[in-house]
Amino acid sequence: MKLALGPIPYFWPAERVQSFYREAAEWPVDIVYLGETVCAKRRALGLSDWLALGAELAGAGKEVVLSTLVLLEAESELSTLRRICGNGRFMVEANDMAAVQFLAHEVPFVAGAQLNCYNHETLAWLAELGARRWLPPVELPAASLEAILARCPPALETEVQVFGRLPLAYSARCFTARHHNLPKDRCGFRCRDYPDGLTLFSQEGQPLFVLNGIQIQSAAPCNLLGAVDELAALEVDVLRITPQDRGTAEAVAAARAALAGDGEAAGRLAEAVPGGWCNGYWYGGAGMDWRCG
């Protein structure tokens, strides 16, 4: 199995993003996804910047994929999307059907998890349009994935997120701006103040969600590194790690060790990423649950 580094979901300054990918160029990952997937207002890096980063990472031996927005709301966003899809060098991760429309029968692409593929018929259709890899929705349990893969087009690769907070929902409203009683159009980029998102607690004080602009994430990072053998048995091709403010390098190292047969790798990760994990969706339970072993 290959190891992938997903796109950064948070709004980090351009210098932080560039520094992060300079470090990632030395990490044992095979695939790196680049681009803004959450909010079109986050323009710290433009397409030319992402392409330059992609060229550097490709020079370091990484497969580079450009990721697209999940929720498009304006003609200007469609124009940017068209430019990404027509970049002429790198594969694209389509996170909205508008991207699929631009890419269909023209450029091979990755079908992102937000396309919500729940059956083999949808996957066969996307493969006909040019999809070469797909990500199942984060809430899909292992048993359902097994049933889908049994009838999945053989040439279509499967990628599963194995570490990082889960993207649960998107909205036209910006949750971070609302938290600060600001309108979305005059948000002041307050999400920049939360490089790991803004934790939302239940009335009992339990971490419940993380607010990240228009995106809601799981409060606890998903951790499926203990299920590497199960993923291998399902013939999953790629394992994805979603970047976080802290512990991403350690998660990559742990994933690589787990792939090499180190059964203790996932447990050692607790020192770098404290606060608990979740894996309930994978086992058919509540997403926020944690099942050991």
Q: What is the pLDDT of residues 27-64, one digit of tens each?
A: 999 999 999 999 999 989 999 999 999 999 999 999 99
What is the signed CA dihedral for 164, 263, 25, 106, rounded to 10 degrees?
A: -70
Statement: residue 293 has pLDDT above 70: no
What is the percent of the chain where pLDDT is above 90? 87
The torsion angles phi and psi of 11, rounded to 5 degrees, stand at: -95, 95
Q: Are strands 198-201 and 207-212 parallel, antiparallel or unpaired?
A: antiparallel
H helices of 38-107, in order, are 47-59, 75-85, 97-103
List the domains of the chain with CATH numbers: 2-166+219-283 (3.20.20.70)
Q: Quick one: average pLDDT of 247-270? A: 88
Q: Quick one: average pLDDT of 184-196? A: 92
Q: What is the pLDDT of residues 157-174, one digit of tens each?
A: 999 999 999 999 999 999
Statement: residue 249 has pLDDT above 80: yes
Statement: residue 150 has pLDDT above 80: yes
Cβ contacts of 50 within 8 Å, gap of 6 or more: 34, 35, 66
Q: In the prediction, which pLDDT does 235 show?
A: 94
Instruction: Read off the pTM.
Output: 0.95
Closest among 168, 163, 112, 143 to 285, alpha carbons compared: 143
For 190, 214, 276, 283, the CA distances from 41, given in Å and listed in that order, are 12, 11, 32, 36
Q: In the prediction, which pLDDT does 263 show?
A: 80
Q: What is the pLDDT of residues 104-148, one digit of tens each?
A: 999 999 999 999 999 999 999 999 999 999 999 999 999 999 999
CA 35 to chain centre: 11
What is the percent of the chain where pLDDT is above 70? 100
Give yes or no for a contact between 275 and 220, defined as CB atoms under 8 angstroms apart: yes
CA-only gyration radius of the chain, Å: 18
Query: Distance (Å, rounded) from C-alpha 240 to C-alpha 233?
Result: 17
Query: Distance (Å, rounded) from C-alpha 108 to C-alpha 110?
Result: 7
Q: In the prediction, which pLDDT does 21 show?
A: 97
Statement: residue 272 has pLDDT above 90: no
The gap between the terminal CA atoms of the chain, to the nearest Å, is 20
- Give the number of C-alpha atoms closer than 13 A to the C-alpha of residue 120, restricted to the C-beta side: 12
The torsion angles phi and psi of 282, rounded to 5 degrees, stand at: -60, -35
